[in-house]
Chains A and B, each alone.
Chain A
Amino acid sequence: MAPTKTTGKDVYSVILPTFNERQNLPIITWLLNRTFTEQNIDWELVIVDDGSPDGTQDVAAQLVKLYAPHVQLQTRTGKLGLGTAYVHGLQFAKGNYIIIMDADFSHHPKFIPQMIAKQKASNYDIVTGTRYAGDGGVYGWDLKRKLTSKGANIFADTVLRPGVSDLTGSFRLYKRDVLEKLFQSTDIRGFTMQMALAVTAKSQGFSIAEVPISFVDRVYGDSKLGGEEIVEYAKGVLQLWWST
């Protein structure tokens, strides 16, 4: 059979929720463009900005022009939260694979080809980056931060036994229809959303694979892990234990 130029090619959509990311946005877009172009992957970037007051949308407009037709900007009028930003972005994404990641370089686009390859290897529904397995790792955490993170992970792992080494990781590749299905059945509010997506996916029988990533945390000094967050996290884990 002669090889034909398939019109049913895979398109990978990156959904990037932003709030005050004027400095990081152009660079992460540049990195994405470089990675996808080098690997000859058909890609698009959906920026979902929640009305950033720092001019993020102006930079986004410049990027839309520079990297046309790969980049699109979708705006919302207020800080409406991460979960709903993904749902919103998904409406406009054209790809059959969806990649979610952070805009602050903690997730490096260079791991995306590895995730894609892993997904193709056994047709996994989801591939998630892990900081805790293989040669995955973190830069910029002190001992206290490492303890908190590993402790939280062990707690969630013991209670939920999810079979995923990095439950709160948010660098993931999803099959589009899998993500759509998950959004319908998962409570997507709060920062325990990533955990909820993974656990719900497991309980619905979707297959998840992992790729070790290096997570460069440049803002660790600005610790978002107060006592309140820890309590909310524990509540989130127990809620998932009860309902999933």
Chain B
Amino acid sequence: MTRAQQTISIALLVSSLYLSLYLELIPLPALIQTAIVPVLPFWALVSFGAWVLFRLGWGMLTFHDTPEAYKELMEEIKLAQADLRAKGVSVD
């Protein structure tokens, strides 16, 4: 099963579930039927957008910079160049 098939199947499932609520095929308390069910899709969309933005922001906050790795690498490059030149490899 491809990712597309999986996503579309789940989407169809959720849609038909929602449709059964929207078309009042399942009895619900009046308040939920009139005030919550109609706005559920929009709420889901906004929540999803907020979740993605949160992940992005969190990723920026916790992004790990590695200056030590850079310094270590620069040292190693110098070591390598010296060693290689001594062994006759052309190093710029």
Contact (Cβ within 8 A) A62 B90 = yes
Kindly identify which residue among A27, A59, A153, A244 contacts B81, using a CB–CB cutoff of 8 Å: A27
Residue positions of A touching B, CB distance < 8 A: 22-23, 26-27, 30-31, 58-59, 62-63, 66, 105, 108, 132, 135-141, 143, 146-147, 150-151, 153-154, 158-161, 199, 203, 214-216, 240-244
Contact (Cβ within 8 A) A244 B3 = yes
Q: How far is the CA of A91 from the CA of B7 in the complex (A)?
A: 38
Contact (Cβ within 8 A) A146 B60 = yes
Contact (Cβ within 8 A) B3 A214 = no
Contact (Cβ within 8 A) B73 A108 = yes
Render B68-92 as a binary contact track against A, CB cut-off 8 A, 1 for contact: 0110010011001101100111111
Q: How far is the CA of A137 from the CA of B83 in the complex (A)?
A: 29
Give the 8 A-B residue pairs with the shortest CB-CB distance, closest first.
A137-B64, A214-B69, A214-B66, A30-B80, A150-B59, A137-B66, A139-B70, A27-B80
User: Is B67 interfacial (CB-CB < 8 Å)?
Assistant: yes
Number of cross-chain contacts by CB at 8 Å: 95
Contact (Cβ within 8 A) A62 B66 = no
CB distance from A206 to the nearest CB of B (A): 16
For the complex with contacts A26-B89, A242-B3, 6 further pairs of A-B residues with Cβ separation under 8 Å are: A22-B92, A137-B64, A138-B65, A154-B52, A154-B56, A241-B3
Kindly identify which residue among B3, B56, B64 contacts A138, using a CB–CB cutoff of 8 Å: B64
Contacts A30-B84, A105-B73 given; does A136 touch B64 at CB 8 Å: yes
Q: How far is the CA of A59 from the CA of B73 in the complex (A)?
A: 21
Chain B residues 1-37 with CB under 8 Å of chain A are 2-4, 7
Contact (Cβ within 8 A) B83 A30 = yes
Kindly identify which residue among B4, B63, B84 contacts A241, using a CB–CB cutoff of 8 Å: B4
